[in-house]
Amino acid sequence: MKKTGSVWLVLLAAVLFSCTGNCTRTAEAKTVKASIPVKQIAVGKQIVIRSGTEQVRYQSSDSTIASVSAQGVVTGKRPGQVKIIVKRQGYESRELSLKVRAAKGKPSLEVALDEVRLQAVKMKKTGDHRYQYSAVVHNTAKKGKIVKIEYYYRIRVQEPLSVSGQGKTAIHSNKTGITKNTESLKKTGDPTGKPTSGVTASPLPVATATPPSVPVTPKPTAKQEPKVVWATKDKTVVLSAKNIKAKKKSARIRCEGDASGKISAMQLTQIKLYTKEAVYTYQVSQKKGTLRWSDMDLTGPVISGWVGKKSCYQGEPIWLCYSDQKNTYHFKDHVKAVDARDGKVPVSVDTSRIRWNKEGIYKVYYTAKDKAGNKTKAWAKVQLLKPGAAEQFADIILENKIQSGSDEKKLRKIYQYVQGNCSYTGTGGHKDWRVEAANGIRNHSGDCFTYYSVAKLLITRAGIPHIMVRRYPERAGNNHWWNLVYVRGGWYHFDTTPRTRKGNFCLMTDEQLHMYSTGSTFRFQEELYPKRAKKKISPNPV
């Protein structure tokens, strides 16, 4: 009994061990092997998923961004981020990330070609050597309408080249002539029908008499069927369907079929898929698709940037140039034009209305033209100044103290220079910033308007865009001015006036100013100024 029990224990352990090993192997599911050749594609372009595992299925996390066919062909439909999931039963799925970017000057694609199914295909005989091809179009897309789809087929057709044996066989008859000759013979006895002149003609012996030759009328033959000679030639036909909503099928559509009567003989050459705003044309032989707009381009580019009302705030133009910058000032640096179809297009600027020998505020005009010839125009206000004594001071300071570098580096050095070379006295002039700037540089003292003016002068001569900001509400003895400068693609506060609490206010955001003071120190009419940057690029003021 003990021995038998031991055997059973050994067998039981072996079974348990075997079960454990099998369970472990089952739990360790294989992972699908698949990869994607690129990380991003443009709208209308295709890529093929590389799969090292057979019998896999594909799925798009968002088929409105990119679709994927059963063969792993991915088509970009609109800009966005998407994941292509590769599955197989009993395997762990693989997720492949893909970015779809906008195609330059191209529309979005609502329905991809791999989402269209040609179903219930039939070939029907309609006459001698004539056939009709028909099918149903299924729009399997979750969203998107097929406005129209056209399938172009090259087929062989037969047409009659010549027809022989038409009508009845011709029958020749001269019965009238026979009757005439017989009557003449009766009257004259002359086979020729001519009368005898006074001479009695001897009658011919009956035995030797030869009757006139009488034509024999053939019997009519049986009706003959016309013999047709057929010629074969190539022909292009179009199978077309319209207005198929998502997840819906078309009515049966038809076109002429191949003369062979075989569906396989219908040679597909091209497919044109019309969606909301796009036409996708697929060339079968080249296995290549092209995307274009479905209608004419009648809309011009959009000009944006510092143009129109956005070129001037509180009566002060952002564009501020000097007469000695006529050939060097960059009027197009902050203006761009984008066309819905052509993408970014060039912008030209007309400065002919500026009188370079006279200070004042002028208008310049921008023009943008797309490939279709549509033009768009915009204007901007520009303030022109003639350099004087104040500018001479500024140029010397910039050359000796500020030197070269990025706009941000220049601004930080300008901030340090103004605070280090000017003392706050609480007094100064408030009428002309250029006059006050020159006084501040000479006297090394002044009030907040003096600090603002010296900074403005140096910033202007350094070629950095800026405008003035004023405290609101304005009250006598409680006014304050500072600069708003454009750097790193955004607007930042730039206040060089020193505080008793100290603090550095070089390149500040709205949030940073509000953190320093919730009172009226930096209160201003925010809606009257360009939107300020939110990204912090300087430490918070202490």
Co-location of 416 and 512 in the same domain: yes
- For the chain, 542 residues long, give each residue's pLDDT as a single digit of tens: 444 455 444 444 444 444 444 444 445 678 999 999 999 999 999 999 999 999 999 999 999 999 999 999 999 999 999 999 999 999 999 999 999 998 877 899 999 999 999 999 999 999 888 999 999 999 999 999 999 999 999 999 998 876 665 544 333 444 333 334 434 434 444 444 444 443 333 333 333 344 444 555 555 555 666 777 888 999 999 999 999 999 999 999 999 999 999 999 999 999 999 999 999 999 999 999 999 998 888 999 999 999 999 999 999 999 999 999 999 999 999 999 999 888 899 999 999 999 999 999 999 999 999 999 999 999 999 999 999 999 999 999 999 988 788 999 999 999 999 999 999 998 888 999 999 999 999 999 999 999 999 999 999 999 999 999 999 998 887 899 999 999 999 999 999 999 888 889 999 999 999 999 888 899 999 999 999 999 999 999 97
Buried b (16+ CB within 10 A) or exposed e, 2-36: eeeeeeeeeeeeeeeeeeeeeeeeeeeeeebebeb
Asked whether residue 195 is assigned to any structural domain, the reply reads: no
Co-location of 239 and 321 in the same domain: no
Co-location of 232 and 288 in the same domain: yes
Asked whether residue 201 is assigned to any structural domain, the reply reads: no
What's the pLDDT score for residue 188?
42
| Residue partners of 506: CB distance under 8 A and separation at least 6 | 411, 412, 415, 494, 496, 538
Co-location of 412 and 472 in the same domain: yes
For the question of whether the overall pTM of this predicted structure is more than 0.85, the answer is no
Co-location of 381 and 393 in the same domain: no
Whether 394 and 455 have beta carbons less than 8 Å apart is answered as no
Asked whether residue 248 is assigned to any structural domain, the reply reads: yes
Co-location of 137 and 98 in the same domain: no
Last residue of a domain, one of 83, 105, 127: 105
How many domains is the chain built from?
A: 4
> Which residues partner with 239 through β-bridges?
151
Last residue of a domain, one of 351, 385, 419: 385
How many helices and strands, by DSSP H and E, does the chain display? 7, 34
CB atoms within 10 A of CB 46: 20
Asked whether residue 18 is assigned to any structural domain, the reply reads: no
Co-location of 243 and 365 in the same domain: no
Asked whether residue 349 is assigned to any structural domain, the reply reads: yes
What's the pLDDT score for residue 167?
45
Asked whether residue 438 is assigned to any structural domain, the reply reads: yes
Domain that holds residue 399: 389-528
Last residue of a domain, one of 293, 322, 341: 293
Domain harbouring 415, CATH code: 3.10.620.30
Co-location of 376 and 520 in the same domain: no
Whether 52 and 112 have beta carbons less than 8 Å apart is answered as no
Domain harbouring 310, CATH code: 2.60.40.10
Distance, CA of 61 to CA of 68 (rounded, Å):
10
Co-location of 272 and 314 in the same domain: no
Co-location of 377 and 332 in the same domain: yes
pLDDT digits 0-9 by tens, 499-517: 888 889 999 999 999 999 8
What residue type is assigned to position 24 of the chain? T
Asked whether residue 534 is assigned to any structural domain, the reply reads: no
CB atoms within 10 A of CB 494: 26
Co-location of 146 and 239 in the same domain: yes
Closest CA to 528 of 284, 314, 383: 314
CB atoms within 10 A of CB 449: 24
Domain harbouring 267, CATH code: 2.60.40
CB atoms within 10 A of CB 488: 13
Co-location of 252 and 118 in the same domain: yes
Asked whether residue 179 is assigned to any structural domain, the reply reads: no
3-class DSSP assignment, residue 410: helix
pLDDT digits 0-9 by tens, 8-66: 444 444 444 444 444 444 456 789 999 999 999 999 999 999 999 999 999 999 999 99
CA distances from 356 to 317, 327, 351, 386, 433 (A): 17, 11, 10, 8, 21
Domain harbouring 79, CATH code: 2.60.40.1080
